[in-house]
Copies of this chain bind each other. A is one copy, B any other.
Amino acid sequence: MNEGTDATAHGGARGSLQLRDQLCFALYSASRSVTARYRPLLDELNLTYPQYLVMLVLWEQDEISVRGLGAALQLESSTLSPLLKRLEAAGLVHRERRADDERSVTLTLTPSGLALRDRARAVPLAMSGAMGLTEEQDETVKELLRLINDNVSRS
């Protein structure tokens, strides 16, 4: 009814200002919903969602620099430094300046951090169930999200 006021209101929603047409909102909204759904699972592990992502990286590749972690997660040191301090305070991660380059800090898992991996194994499957996508939909959306990420990050 109010489409007359929109420049491109003829089905193609690319230039619309309507919230429901915006891919960005679908993305923002789904991301927050998913994070919220993770929360109770991660509470069991005493991790926040970004902390969980950091642990995923470390479980995959122990001994990594803050810089390398930032590259993997696309996060700045200004985000990671305080987060890593909290993980260190929780006894999951050890931080140490590199002997051969004092600018760099090497992250390693403590025994406790390594052990947490076993308790975390149930998390991805539980979440996959909550999302309720078929294997094919799951792959499709992951591919499209990575495409968006690549296109938008480029330049």
Taking Cβ atoms with an 8 Å cutoff, the residues of A that contact B are 2, 7, 12, 14-19, 21-38, 49, 53, 56-57, 59-60, 72-74, 117, 120-121, 124-125, 127-128, 130-133, 135, 137-138, 140-142, 144-149, 151-153
Contacts and interface: CB of A to CB of B under 8 A. Distances in A.
Nearest to A32: B74
Nearest to A120: B17
B121 A56 contact: no
B34 A148 contact: yes
Nearest to A6: B121
Given A27-B34, A30-B149, A133-B148, 13 more contacts: A18-B56, A19-B57, A22-B56, A22-B124, A26-B142, A26-B149, A27-B27, A29-B149, A30-B31, A31-B31, A36-B152, A132-B152, A140-B140
B14 A124 contact: yes
Contact of A25 (B26, B53, B131): B53
A61 to B, nearest CB: 9
Nearest to A28: B31
Nearest to A14: B128
A40 to B, nearest CB: 12
A73 B153 CA distance: 25
Contact of A72 (B19, B137, B145, B153): B19
B74 A29 contact: yes
B60 A124 contact: no
